[in-house]
């Protein structure tokens, strides 16, 4: 078993959305390299509670890298130094004895801090609600094998669908833009035949919602791609831009039928 | 308490069809006058909330996560079963039905399971239409793989993220309804009480996990889709937030709790590394398709690196004991076999609690690229956690608490013993009997949410006069809200020294030790002594910092642990009373000479449903007899 | 209102103009950028005639002024002014949005994928704007030129760069242009959706090649004057 390490943490503490926050220093001692980053914080928190202090609040749930709940910027990088790894899957063997670690919440106007490292990411849900779906009510659609999908497209759609909605792309983007998140959903659905009927209205609706949510815009830095724990590619943003341009050029207002009967 | 399952008559193939016709319908214009509360936004809850809103009901959906997309269904890896028979390998609705009943060791209700097998095909159609990117073959058609407990290839999958993709499908349908204003979503809300008026469920009380506000919500029907209680073991494959509070509140309000002792231990999880461990990570069971499980034949070899143990010194114990199913033996059997070899001192890894899952032979046979294509992301995940490369050294795995087959008792309509309170997905006890087969949880969650509840809830609501919903200022509502407020106050008032996690860990140790993979009378009785002691200590010495009027994760945890401390006791009590071995419930006193589970069909071919009789009183055990009309009771044989 | 109608009405309410949308403004930035990048390339090619002597250079200048009976240059100028206008407008508006989107930064900001070039776009852009004004006053109107002669652009060119400060500013501006173009050229392919994994390396190489060519050649002009190679 490898040796235990000692660390100094600088953690953003903020009581609620209205209060001002500040960095507070904590010592994390006798940390096992087999611990996950969150388990290290658990241990620090147990110590704080025992001393009667408020533990550090942070979002977390599945702790296996799939739910997208955990969200902290570790030494300036969302989810920490390891690529394609969420905070819960980051292990302390990635740090050295004596390291100093700065832990901050996702920073974006669209993600207000709720407390400490916990932020409100409901803007991402509202973007999906604006158009990130295929409108098929529960019922009796055709047989699943009725529409063959080229394997390559299915694979690319799956690559994009792997997005866990954690918001690391927004946190990493110098402009706090949500373009990678949006483009993942637009690519996922746009690459499949089932997503075609709403392909162009979807991109318009979702972009409009994104713009209404105080996210920044993409300036093609590429920070999102590196920060994404699921490896969502910049190519998706290009695909979304393409669809958006086409959608805007071919958009016809007021297609609602007059109805009747 | 009367347990009437309301199973329709007629031949099993016709029951669901007939029942759907017999169910009363709600006039389309009246649907919006009914309000339905759905608690939980996973496969069952998300699918139900979306589907009910599509029908026109006014729906409110609650979840403790910050977004409905994060429910723990998302973590299911392997796949979802359906009787499509796309492989032409002999699958059918009846075979899926049979496999599920057999896999559950004949402790599930025939009619429910048959319905599940029937709707399994609709689920795949629905999900594909939603844009779920299932794996496909080069011809563009859907791919399948095999899973434990079945000899046909009927599992549909999306890499190792099937649960995620299915949940996102349901989430997108739900978000669409939210966007349309048909569903009101309440994230970061924890349900802490069911409002029961004159014996009928009329709403819920929640705590806003941001502001701390305790709020009441009334409705014409309440659906609980809050998942299982596998976290009662502290360490499990469940998410940290998964808890039993919703179903436990319902139980204490009069809903019967069925088969709490049926908890599944999953055979392929990454072993524990130390005391800091906060959860266990599952490696998809699908790995067993190409991985071979073994331990050294001799104890002395356990410390050696795997590649220095020659073939003849390895014990491929599953292949040896179960030649026809081999590494694909059902979960309960594989888990116990792993425990057995580790108990013999032949376990591997630092703690001695682990067995090898070796891909060497498959890599040689199929080539690394093929293995990468099938399991790449799982291998990556394993390496990330353990710092070992599974392409080079065999994985180490060990069983961990995973799924709860037990849950609130429901009838054929998924209604609990409290009228108006429906229970969906893992939260109910329904379809898996004493053991769940792989890739069946996703199937059941979606079946309940998309294809069962939309019909059966209509049958219930049609019997209620529209517009007769109680008001939120009704004294019964205020009273329910007060009990929640008081409970929170009580927790703060303890003002002791120990953290909630401390008690949680203690409980977990007892549960795992005495009520985990192997159970016996002495151990269970011991647990029945220990759990109340921990509970007593909890209510004397708990410390929660901060206040209830803010984000307080310690308070959340404390409330959940308080409920687990009660549920754990019921689980043990049920295990003690079920004097047989069946499926995942293994009583050491009842086993065959080869160490297999020995059922007692004469005395225990029934569902045990527990009725709460007040704090401090012993709960009462009721039974629902299981009759097998379509299938014959048989001993499971995977040899 | 039916669910479907509500959905469409909702989309209508959310729908907003192309020019107001974030991607729309980026497309405008990219399109105007292409015009400007095309211009600097042609400008650079035209200026290489300085190496062919006074006559060739002055003939070239005369040709530019007499295209389409003298209207040609005004068509060019109009297109450029409009492009510059759109480029600055979209840049300013997007930058303001971006600053508002991250009001509080990170204490331990780490850049991993972004380049110095991408991060300095707004600064190199401002420097280039200042330079363009100077450049016009210097060599087009002659306002800030020491001895400007409308009839002899070649002499203006040589005399202009003989002032070391002017030559220095020109070189600095060219380096800024390099940084701006290197990210800008790659970026417009991305913004216009011209991305494909097969050609992605090509996009980078294209940006690098053209940037080096334009900036490399441009920088030779003041150096050639200062070293007396052009006189």
* Cβ–Cβ under 8 Å, residues B161 and B77: yes
User: Average pLDDT, stretch B629-637?
Assistant: 86
- Pairing state between β A22-31 and B189-197: unpaired
* DSSP conformation letters of B36-94: EEEE--SHHHHHHHHHHHHHT-EEEEE-SSSSGGGSGGGG--S-EE----TT-SS--HH
- Assign residue A87 the CATH number of its domain: 3.10.20.30
* Cβ–Cβ under 8 Å, residues B123 and B451: yes
Cβ pair A256:C9 closer than 8 A: yes
Identify the pLDDT of residue C178. 97
- Assign residue B587 the CATH number of its domain: 1.20.58.100
- For residue C5, the chain B residue with the least C-alpha distance is B180
Question: Which chain A positions have a beta carbon within 8 Å of C20's beta carbon?
Answer: 211
Is the model's pLDDT at B558 over the cut of 90?
yes
Mutate one of A17, A39, A67 to test the B interface: name it (highest B CB count within 10 A). Answer: A67
- Look at residue B327 and tell me if it is in a domain: yes
Identify the pLDDT of residue B382. 93
Positive or negative, the Cα torsion across B100, B101, B106, B112? positive
* Cβ–Cβ under 8 Å, residues B211 and B187: no
Spatial CA neighbour of B52 closest among B326, B453, B392: B453
* Cβ–Cβ under 8 Å, residues B84 and B154: yes
Chains linked to A by 3 or more Cβ pairs within 8 Å: B, C
Phi/psi at A245 (nearest 5 deg)?
-60, -45
Cβ pair B384:A89 closer than 8 A: yes
- Domain region containing A220: 122-138+145-249
Q: A174 with A80, same domain?
A: no
Identify the pLDDT of residue B148. 73
* Cβ–Cβ under 8 Å, residues A28 and A40: yes
* Cβ–Cβ under 8 Å, residues B352 and B302: yes
Please say which residue of B400, B434, B464 terminates a domain. Answer: B400
Average pLDDT over chain A, rounded to an integer: 94
Identify the pLDDT of residue B533. 98
Cβ pair A227:C193 closer than 8 A: no
Q: Which residues 6+ apart lie within 8 Å of B281 measured at CB? A: A63, A64, B237, B269, B270, B381, B385
Positive or negative, the Cα torsion across A113, A114, A116, A118? negative
ipTM of the complex as predicted: 0.97
Given 3-state DSSP classes, what are the helix, strand and coil percentages for chain B, each rounded to the nearest 5?
A: 40, 15, 40
Confidence of residue A251 (pLDDT cuts 50, 70, 90): confident
Cβ pair A122:B130 closer than 8 A: no
- For residue C10, the chain B residue with the least C-alpha distance is B180
pLDDT tens-digit series, residues A58-79:
999 999 999 999 999 999 999 9
Q: A110 with A177, same domain?
A: no
- For residue A60, the chain B residue with the least C-alpha distance is B240
Is the model's pLDDT at A261 over the cut of 80?
no
- Assign residue B332 the CATH number of its domain: 3.90.700.10
Is the model's pLDDT at B248 over the cut of 80?
yes
Mutate one of B128, B181, B448 to test the A interface: name it (highest A CB count within 10 A). Answer: B128
- Look at residue A245 and tell me if it is in a domain: yes
Q: A134 with A88, same domain?
A: no
Q: Which of C7, C14, C115 sits opposite A208 (nearest CB)?
A: C14
Is the model's pLDDT at C2 over the cut of 50?
no
- Look at residue A260 and tell me if it is in a domain: no
Least confident of A169-173, B149-153, B304-308: B149-153
Q: How far is B183 from chain C (nearest CA, A)?
A: 12
Spatial CA neighbour of B154 closest among B165, B143, B162, B138: B143
Q: B394 with B290, same domain?
A: yes
H/E segment holding residue C33: helix C22-47
Is the model's pLDDT at C8 over the cut of 60?
no
Identify the pLDDT of residue A2. 60
Which DSSP letter does residue B402 get? E
Question: Which chain C positions have a beta carbon within 8 Å of B180's beta carbon?
Answer: 3, 6-7, 10
- Look at residue B58 and tell me if it is in a domain: no
- Look at residue A254 and tell me if it is in a domain: no
**Percent of the residues in chain C that have a pLDDT greater than 90, as a whole number:** 84
Cβ pair C7:B180 closer than 8 A: yes
- Look at residue A259 and tell me if it is in a domain: no
pLDDT tens-digit series, residues B14-70:
999 999 999 999 999 999 999 999 999 999 999 999 999 999 999 999 999 999 999
- For residue B128, the chain A residue with the least C-alpha distance is A144
- Look at residue B565 and tell me if it is in a domain: yes
**Percent of the residues in chain A that have a pLDDT greater than 70, as a whole number:** 96
Euclidean distance between CA atoms B177 and B48, whole angstroms:
12
Cβ pair A148:B50 closer than 8 A: no
Identify the pLDDT of residue A1. 47
Confidence of residue A105 (pLDDT cuts 50, 70, 90): very high
Domain count, chain B: 2
Give me C109's structure tokens: 């900001």
**Percent of the residues in chain A that have a pLDDT greater than 90, as a whole number:** 93
User: Average pLDDT, stretch B511-526?
Assistant: 96
Q: B385 with B277, same domain?
A: yes
Identify the pLDDT of residue C16. 58
Identify the pLDDT of residue A254. 60
pLDDT tens-digit series, residues C99-136:
999 999 999 988 999 999 999 999 999 999 999 999 99
Spatial CA neighbour of C121 closest among C203, C179, C187, C185: C179
pLDDT tens-digit series, residues B382-416:
999 999 999 999 999 999 999 999 999 999 999 99
- Look at residue B303 and tell me if it is in a domain: yes
Q: Which residues 6+ apart lie within 8 Å of B379 measured at CB? A: B371, B372, B390, B391
User: Average pLDDT, stretch B209-230?
Assistant: 98
Q: A96 with A16, same domain?
A: yes
Q: A106 with A126, same domain?
A: no
Q: Which of A215, A227, A253 sits opposite C101 (nearest CB)?
A: A215
- Look at residue B107 and tell me if it is in a domain: no
Euclidean distance between CA atoms B233 and B517, whole angstroms:
11
Please say which residue of B372, B400, B428 terminates a domain. Answer: B400
- Look at residue B160 and tell me if it is in a domain: no
Cβ pair C3:B180 closer than 8 A: yes
Any B CB within 8 A of C100 CB:
no
**Percent of the residues in chain C that have a pLDDT greater than 70, as a whole number:** 93
Spatial CA neighbour of B375 closest among B134, B77, B166, B142: B77
Indicate which residues of B carry an active-site annotation: 331
Q: Which residue has the tokens 């093609």?
A: A220
Which DSSP letter does residue B452 get? I
Q: How far is A1 from chain C (nearest CA, A)?
A: 32
Chains linked to B by 3 or more Cβ pairs within 8 Å: A, C
Euclidean distance between CA atoms C107 and A12, whole angstroms:
10
Q: B377 with B287, same domain?
A: yes
Cβ pair A242:C193 closer than 8 A: yes
Any B CB within 8 A of C6 CB:
yes
Q: A170 with A132, same domain?
A: yes
Q: How far is C86 from chain A (nearest CA, A)?
A: 16
How many beta-carbon pairs below 8 A join chains A and C? 163
Give me B436's structure tokens: 């769940």
Phi/psi at A31 (nearest 5 deg)?
-85, 125
Q: How far is C7 from chain B (nearest CA, A)?
A: 6
- Look at residue B512 and tell me if it is in a domain: yes
Cβ pair A235:C200 closer than 8 A: yes
Cβ pair B164:A66 closer than 8 A: yes
Q: A154 with A53, same domain?
A: no
Q: A189 with A108, same domain?
A: no
Is the model's pLDDT at C12 over the cut of 80?
no
SS (H, E, C) A54-65: CCCCCCCCCCCC
Give me B268's structure tokens: 């392929």
H/E segment holding residue B505: helix B500-515
How many beta-carbon pairs below 8 A join chains B and C? 9
- Look at residue A256 and tell me if it is in a domain: no
- Look at residue A87 and tell me if it is in a domain: yes
Question: Which chain C positions have a beta carbon within 8 Å of B54's beta carbon?
Answer: 3
SS3 B356: strand
Cβ pair B450:A82 closer than 8 A: no
Spatial CA neighbour of B317 closest among B300, B302, B339: B339
Q: Cα–Cα distances in Å, from B552 out to A39, A40, B535, B620, C128? A: 18, 19, 21, 36, 53
Euclidean distance between CA atoms A189 and A205, whole angstroms:
14
Question: Which chain B positions have a beta carbon within 8 Å of A189's beta carbon?
Answer: 131
Identify the pLDDT of residue B374. 82
Least confident of B226-230, B320-324, B485-489, C182-186: B320-324
Is the model's pLDDT at B110 over the cut of 80?
yes
Euclidean distance between CA atoms A223 and C111, whole angstroms:
7
Q: A129 with A12, same domain?
A: no
User: Average pLDDT, stretch A24-39?
Assistant: 96
Give me B46's structure tokens: 């998300």
- Assign residue A128 the CATH number of its domain: 1.10.1060.10
Instruction: Return residues 77-106 of C near A (CB < 8 Å).
Output: 94, 97-98, 100-106
Question: Which chain A positions have a beta carbon within 8 Å of C104's beta carbon?
Answer: 107
- For residue A146, the chain B residue with the least C-alpha distance is B141
User: Average pLDDT, stretch B323-336?
Assistant: 88
Phi/psi at C64 (nearest 5 deg)?
-60, -40
Q: Which residue has the tokens 């206008």?
A: C85
Q: Which residues 6+ apart lie within 8 Å of B508 measured at CB? A: B232, B233, B234, B235
Q: B481 with B365, same domain?
A: no
Please say which residue of B344, B378, B400 terminates a domain. Answer: B400
Q: Which residues 6+ apart lie within 8 Å of B341 measured at CB? A: B295, B315, B317, B347, B355
SS3 C63: helix
- Look at residue A184 and tell me if it is in a domain: yes
* Cβ–Cβ under 8 Å, residues A222 and C113: yes
Identify the pLDDT of residue B144. 95
- Domain region containing B493: 475-599
- Look at residue B464 and tell me if it is in a domain: no
* Cβ–Cβ under 8 Å, residues B259 and B107: yes
Spatial CA neighbour of B167 closest among B427, B455, B425: B425
Is the model's pLDDT at C7 over the cut of 50?
no
Identify the pLDDT of residue C155. 95
Q: A84 with A163, same domain?
A: no
Confidence of residue C1 (pLDDT cuts 50, 70, 90): very low
Q: A14 with A130, same domain?
A: no
Cβ pair A136:B50 closer than 8 A: no
- For residue C1, the chain B residue with the least C-alpha distance is B180
Distance of alpha carbon B111 from the chain centroid: 20
Q: In what order do the strands lie in the sheet with B35-39?
A: B183-186, B58-62, B35-39, B221-224, B421-423
Tell me how many degrees the CA angle B19-B20-B23 measures, rounded to the nearest 5. 80
- Count the Cβ atoms, other than its own, within 10 Å of residue C38: 11
Which stretches of chain A are DSSP H helices?
A: 37-50, 122-131, 151-161, 168-172, 179-190, 199-212, 223-227, 235-250
Is the model's pLDDT at B279 over the cut of 90?
yes
Domain count, chain A: 2
- Pairing state between β B80-81 and B155-156: antiparallel
Q: Cα–Cα distances in Å, from B102 out to B95, B433, B633? A: 10, 9, 9
User: Average pLDDT, stretch A18-25?
Assistant: 96
Q: A94 with A130, same domain?
A: no
Cβ pair B274:A61 closer than 8 A: no
Question: Which chain B positions have a beta carbon within 8 Å of C6's beta carbon?
Answer: 180-181
Q: Which residues 6+ apart lie within 8 Å of A152 measured at CB? A: none
- Look at residue A212 and tell me if it is in a domain: yes
Confidence of residue B333 (pLDDT cuts 50, 70, 90): confident
Q: Which residue has the higher pLDDT, C196 or A163?
A: A163
Q: B294 with B390, same domain?
A: yes
Is the model's pLDDT at A258 over the cut of 90?
no
Identify the pLDDT of residue B114. 98
Return the half-sphere exposure (C-beta side, CA atoms, 13 A cut-off) of residue B583: 33
User: Average pLDDT, stretch B84-108?
Assistant: 96
């Amino acid at each position: 078993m490898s040796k235990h390490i000692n660390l100094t943490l600088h953690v953003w503490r903020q009581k609620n959305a209205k209060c001002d926050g500040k960095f507070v220093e904590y010592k994390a001692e006798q940390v096992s390299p087999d611990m996950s980053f969150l388990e290290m914080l658990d241990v620090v928190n147990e110590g704080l509670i025992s001393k009667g202090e408020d533990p550090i609040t942070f979002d977390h749930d599945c702790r296996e890298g799939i739910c997208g709940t955990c969200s902290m910027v570790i030494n300036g990088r969302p989810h920490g130094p390891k690529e394609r790894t969420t905070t819960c899957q980051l292990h302390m063997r990635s740090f050295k004895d004596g390291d100093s670690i700065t832990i901050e919440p996702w920073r974006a106007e669209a993600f207000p801090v709720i407390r400490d490292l916990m932020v409100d990411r409901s803007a991402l849900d509202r973007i999906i609600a604006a158009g990130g779906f295929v409108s098929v009510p529960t019922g009796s659609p055709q047989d699943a094998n009725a529409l063959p999908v080229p394997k390559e497209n299915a694979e690319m759609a799956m690559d994009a669908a792997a997005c866990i909605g954690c918001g690391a792309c927004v946190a990493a983007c110098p402009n706090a833009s949500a373009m990678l998140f949006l483009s993942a959903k637009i690519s996922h659905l746009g690459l499949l035949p089932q997503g075609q009927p709403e392909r162009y209205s979807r991109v318009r609706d979702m972009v409009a919602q994104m713009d209404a949510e105080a996210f920044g815009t993409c300036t093609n830095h590429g920070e999102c791609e590196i920060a994404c724990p699921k490896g969502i590619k910049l190519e998706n943003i290009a695909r979304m831009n393409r669809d958006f341009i086409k959608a805007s050029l071919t958009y016809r207002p007021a297609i609602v039928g007059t109805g009747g009967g | 308490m009367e347990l009437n399952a309301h199973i329709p008559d007629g031949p099993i193939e016709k029951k669901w069809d007939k029942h759907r016709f017999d169910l009363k319908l709600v006039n389309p214009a009246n649907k919006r006058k009914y309000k339905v509360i759905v608690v939980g936004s996973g496969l069952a809850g998300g699918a139900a909330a979306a589907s009910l809103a599509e029908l026109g009901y006014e729906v409110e959906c609650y979840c403790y996560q910050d977004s409905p997309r994060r429910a723990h269904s998302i973590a299911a890896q392997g796949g979802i079963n359906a009787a499509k028979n796309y492989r032409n390998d002999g699958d059918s609705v009846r075979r899926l039905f049979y496999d599920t009943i057999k896999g559950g060791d004949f402790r599930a209700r025939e009619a429910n399971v048959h319905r599940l097998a029937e709707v399994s095909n609709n689920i795949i159609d629905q999900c594909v239409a939603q844009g779920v990117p299932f794996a496909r073959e080069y011809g563009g058609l859907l791919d399948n793989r095999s899973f434990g407990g079945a000899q046909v290839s009927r599992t549909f999958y999306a890499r190792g993220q099937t649960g995620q993709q299915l949940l996102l499908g349901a989430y997108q349908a739900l978000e669409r309804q939210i966007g349309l204003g048909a569903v009101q979503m309440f994230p970061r809300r924890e349900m802490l009480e069911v409002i029961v008026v004159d014996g009928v469920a009329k709403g819920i009380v929640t705590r806003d996990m941001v502001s701390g506000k305790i709020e009441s919500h009334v409705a014409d029907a309440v659906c609980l889709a809050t998942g299982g209680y596998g976290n009662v073991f502290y360490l499990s494959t469940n998410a940290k937030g998964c808890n039993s509070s919703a179903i436990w509140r319902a139980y204490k309000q009069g809903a019967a709790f069925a088969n709490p002792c049926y908890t599944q231990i999953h055979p392929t999880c990454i072993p524990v590394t130390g005391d800091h461990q906060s959860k266990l990570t599952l490696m998809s069971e699908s790995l067993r398709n190409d991985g071979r499980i073994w331990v050294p034949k001799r104890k002395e070899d356990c410390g050696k690196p795997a590649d220095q143990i020659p073939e003849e010194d390895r014990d491929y114990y599953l292949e040896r004991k179960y030649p026809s199913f081999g590494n694909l033996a059902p979960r309960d059997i594989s888990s116990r076999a792993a425990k057995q070899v580790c108990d013999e001192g032949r376990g591997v890894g630092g703690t001695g609690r682990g067995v090898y899952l070796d891909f060497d032979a498959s890599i040689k046979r199929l080539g690394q690229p093929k293995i990468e294509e099938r399991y790449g992301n799982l291998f990556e995940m394993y390496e990330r956690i353990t710092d070992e490369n599974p392409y080079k050294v065999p994985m180490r795995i060990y069983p961990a608490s995973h799924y709860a087959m037990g849950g609130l008792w429901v009838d054929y309509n998924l209604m609990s013993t409290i009228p108006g309170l429906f229970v969906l997905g893992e939260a109910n006890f329904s379809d898996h009997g004493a053991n769940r087969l792989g890739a069946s949880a996703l199937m059941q969650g979606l079946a309940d949410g998309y294809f069962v509840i939309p019909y059966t809830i209509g049958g219930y609501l049609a019997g209620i006069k529209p517009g007769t919903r109680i008001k939120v200022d009704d004294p019964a509502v205020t009273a329910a809200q007060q009990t929640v407020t008081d409970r929170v106050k009580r927790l703060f008032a303890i003002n002791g020294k120990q953290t909630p996690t401390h008690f949680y860990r203690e409980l977990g140790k007892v549960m795992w030790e005495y009520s985990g993979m192997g159970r016996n009378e002495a151990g269970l009785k011991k647990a029945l002594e220990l759990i109340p002691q921990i509970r007593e200590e909890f209510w004397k010495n708990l410390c929660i910092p901060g206040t209830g009027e803010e984000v307080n994760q310690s308070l959340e945890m404390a409330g959940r642990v308080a409920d687990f401390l009660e549920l754990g006791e019921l689980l043990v009590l049920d295990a003690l009373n079920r004097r047989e071995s069946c499926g995942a419930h293994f009583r050491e006193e009842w086993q065959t000479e080869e160490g297999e589970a020995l059922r007692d069909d004469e005395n225990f071919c029934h569902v045990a449903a527990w009725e709460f009789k007040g704090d401090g009183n012993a709960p009462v055990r009721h039974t629902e007899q299981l009759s097998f009309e379509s299938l014959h009771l048989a001993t499971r044989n995977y040899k | 209102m039916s669910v479907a109608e509500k959905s469409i009405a909702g989309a209508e309410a959310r729908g907003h103009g192309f020019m107001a949308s974030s991607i729309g403004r980026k497309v405008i930035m990219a399109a105007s950028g292409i015009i400007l990048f095309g211009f600097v390339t042609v400008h650079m090619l035209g200026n290489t005639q300085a190496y062919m002597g006074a006559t060739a250079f002055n003939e070239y200048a005369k040709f530019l002024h007499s295209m389409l009976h003298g209207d040609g240059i005004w068509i060019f100028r109009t297109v450029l002014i409009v492009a510059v206008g759109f480029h600055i407008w979209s840049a300013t508006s997007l930058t303001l949005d971006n600053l508002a989107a991250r009001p509080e930064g990170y204490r331990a900001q780490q850049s991993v994928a972004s380049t110095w070039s991408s991060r300095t776009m707004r600064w190199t852009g401002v420097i280039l704007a200042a330079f363009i004004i100077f450049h016009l006053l210097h060599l087009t109107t002659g306002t800030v030129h020491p001895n400007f002669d409308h009839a002899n652009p070649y002499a203006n060119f040589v005399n202009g760069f003989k002032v070391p400060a002017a030559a220095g500013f020109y070189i600095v501006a060219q380096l800024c242009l390099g940084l701006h173009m290197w990210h800008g050229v790659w970026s417009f392919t991305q913004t216009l959706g011209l991305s494909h994994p097969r050609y992605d390396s090509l996009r980078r190489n294209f940006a690098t090649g053209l940037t080096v060519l334009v900036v490399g050649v441009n920088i030779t002009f003041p150096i050639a004057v200062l070293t007396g190679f052009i006189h």
